[in-house]
Structure 1
Amino acid sequence: MSYEEHEITLSWPPGAVPEENEEVLVTALHWSGRNGGGSPALLIVGYMHHGIRGSASVSPDSKYIAVSDVFTGFHVYHLDNGKSFKHFEQEVSEERPVPVIWVHGGNAILGSSTIPKIMVWYVHTGSKRITLPIPGNSKVLAVTAYDDSNSDGQVFFIAGGTETKDHEFSVVIWRAEERKGPEFIADSDDESSSGPEPELTGAPGHHFAAWLLLGGLMVAGIAVGHKLAGSDIFS
């Protein structure tokens, strides 16, 4: 396989007025697929100084783009025309860029935060589905998710990289498991949610920060030291 190299100089985004010696900061790069799939057709570039966009993520179907700003939270736009679709307001403790990613097949976004919690927002309903608390007064500056369905059921993980004010770092991992019975949602906007408190169970020696429900899935928060190998987390 051979590759061709192309180099271009990015111009200032429309409407942005550069100040003298001000640097153009690119915060996101994404390929957008053609309608109905196919090869990438468009390279999307996010700029720090054009709406103060700290991060951006394109939905799996290339219909939407989710962006985070350092002031109010997260915005979702139609990718074809740039019109606003949803705005998810989130508390911000400092003006610091945080990432946002798509989860659950593009039906929800997962956002980091400068406060000790991360949220899962359901895009089409516009609601905050669930809040995942972080132990201690930590900022969540990195997030990722793993979602896999197989013959044994659904496997879903969320991981958040945290930093304390003393610049100590750790990773918190939530594991989702199928759960039968009434749905219980911890720290949800829907105060009418009901159901039994799920039991705190897990492998000996593991600290579970919280058990939550996520769309019928039970989620366990696990504080993981940096020396704990990933293969050992759930053994």
Structure 2
Amino acid sequence: MSDFRLSAYLHVRTLKNGHSDTVNYLAFSPNGAYLASGGEDHAVIIWNAQQGDLLFRLVFKSAVDVVIWHPVHPDTIILDFYVGNLVLPSPGDPVQVSEFVEQRERAVAVHFHKDGAALIVSYMAHGIIGGTALSPDHRRIVVYNLIDGLDVYALPPQKKAKVKMSFKLDAKPRQRHKMQVTYVNRGHGVVCGTTTGKISIWETHTGEVAQHLPHDEDVVQAICATIVDSTSWIATAPACRGQETYIKIWRAKIAHEDNEDRKESVIDLVHAVARSNRFKRSWKFILELLYIALCTTGCAIVGWVCYQVPWSVVWEALAAGCGQAYVSSKEYVALCGSWLYVGGVQVADLACFIASALEEWLRHILRKFLLHLIPELGENIRHGAADVPNGDL
């Protein structure tokens, strides 16, 4: 039985008159109300995702490769790998894994991991030509491999990264383009653009193609998705269209959740809570409260005992306890002394045995050595064996 449970995606609107060059990245806001787009025209545009209106346009000095929304601060976007006043360091020199390596150090995807505690950045100059996407449960990352489709890896990364699953394109890419990848329908589907004029949607559990969305024979490299209420939304944008650059909005209805979906939602919620720093702080606070409660209870019990029991009884109990401890300590010391005596005797016997065996072995070695040096000595020993004590030379 399929876990996809989505109606077919339908094109509902087209956003125009925004960008004048290729759109590199698209990102829905966490609540799905806004859509951010960044492109080669050095511009970042904030759209009203539901009505399609252009709200803000920001122009920078260079092309915008990545745009993401901050996971903690609402209505805050992050460009490339600059986070507020913090500038993340360079990953180092690029490693050539194929005949194609772009000279520019270019971030093609940025993801917050562990509720903002970590940042995962994918670089074009480091072998990941296409985009990447994190699963909603933060256990997997899917990578566009530029050759034949998408590969899924486990998180956290292992020493030797192994492909856990692959989603294959029905046609090889025509050009080398980075392709933005995203999960849809709470991780039950994964979406990626292509260079052959369409968008491919796969089911994550089976790896089968769920739907192809036509895109006017364009190269579709920017794509993102979100869920608002019971509706799944996808935004897509083509490359190399110049002044005719546009953004398409697609919509699909999510089927009614059954018990299995509720179980998965609860599991996702538990994982999200466990990853949350707020949960860790709350758990530490609860442990501190329990420690304080135990200490308070212990002090109360001691106080109650001191108040209820007469001091004469307490002193008698202390004296009896000290006497019993003295007797027990004498017995323990005597027992330890007997163990040490027996152990010392055994060690002495073992040392004598080892010394005797070593002496015999040295005599034997010396005898053989002298007989080897002086063969005539062996003849004399054989003639006078009766007069030579055993073991003497």
Give me the TM-score of the superposition, normalised by structure 1: 0.59
> Where does the alignment leave 5 or more consecutive residues of structure 2 unmatched?
1-72, 74-83, 257-393
> Which runs of structure 2 are paired with 1:59-74 in the superposition (5 Å)?
59-74=135-150
1:88 matched to which residue of 2?
167
Structure showing greater Rg = 2
Question: For each residue in 1:41-66, what CA deviation from the matched residue of structure 2 results, as whole angstroms up to 9, or x when unmatched?
Answer: 43222121333432111112110111
1:166 Cα offset (Å): 7.5
**2:126 pairs with one of 50, 54, 58:** 50
Tell whether the 8 Å contact from 1:71 to 1:95 is kept in structure 2 after alignment.
no
Indicate whether 1:11 and 2:92 are aligned: yes
Alpha carbons 1:103, 1:145 under 8 Å: kept: yes
Please name the residue that 1:184 is paired with: none
Once residues 242 and 112 of structure 2 are traced to their aligned partners in structure 1, the CA distance between those partners, rounded to angstroms, is: 37
Aligned pair partner of 1:141 in 221, 234, 247: 221
Higher strand fraction: Structure 1 or Structure 2? 1
Structure 2 Cα separation of the partners of residues 162 and 131 of structure 1:
15
Equivalent residue, structure 1, for 2:271: none
Aligned to 1:32: 113
Conservation of the 8 A alpha-carbon contact between 2:134 and 2:140: yes
Name the SS of the counterpart of 1:105 in structure 2.
helix
TM-superposed deviation, 1:178: 6.2
C-alpha change, 1:123 and 1:177, in structure 2 (3 Å) is: closer
SS at match of 1:157: strand
Q: Which amino acid aligns with 1:98?
A: M
Tell me how far 1:96 sits from its aligned partner: 1.1
Equivalences, count: 167
CA distance in structure 2 between the partners assigned to 1:120 and 1:77 by the alignment: 18
Shift of 1:165: 6.4
Q: How many angstroms does 1:141 deviate by?
A: 2.3
- Match of 2:186, SS state, is helix
Aligned equivalent of 2:211: 130
Q: Distance in 1 between matches of 2:121 and 2:234?
A: 26
List 4+ stretches of structure 1 deviating above 4 A: 13-17, 163-167
SS of 1:84's partner is coil
The residue type equivalent to 1:61 in the other structure is D
| Alignment of 1:112 onto 2:193 | yes
Deviations 1:78-118 (A, max 9, x none): 11234311111222121111110111112221101111110
Structure 2 distance, partners of 1:163, 1:10, is 27
Per the TM alignment, residue 40 of structure 1 is displaced from its structure 2 partner at its CA by 3.4
Segments of 5+ residues of structure 1 without an aligned counterpart are: 34-38, 181-235
| 2:239 counterpart of 1:159 | no
**2:220 aligned partner, one-letter code:** V
Q: CA deviation at 1:4?
A: 7.3
Q: 1:23 to 1:172 in 2, by over 3 A?
A: closer
Closer, same or farther: CA 177–94 of 1 in aligned 2, 3 Å: same
TM-score by length of 2: 0.37
Query: For residue 176 of structure 1, what is the aligned residue in structure 2?
Result: 252
In structure 1, the partner of 2:24 is: none
C-alpha spacing 1:138/1:85, structure 2 compared with 1 (3 Å):
same
Relative to structure 1, is the Cα distance of residues 7 and 139 closer, same or farther in structure 2, using a 3 angstrom cutoff?
Answer: closer
Q: What are the Cα deviations for residues 23-44 of structure 1, in whole angstroms up to 9, with x where unaligned? A: 43322222221xxxxx434322
Q: Which has the higher helix share?
A: 2
Higher relative contact order (CA 8 A, sep 6+): 2
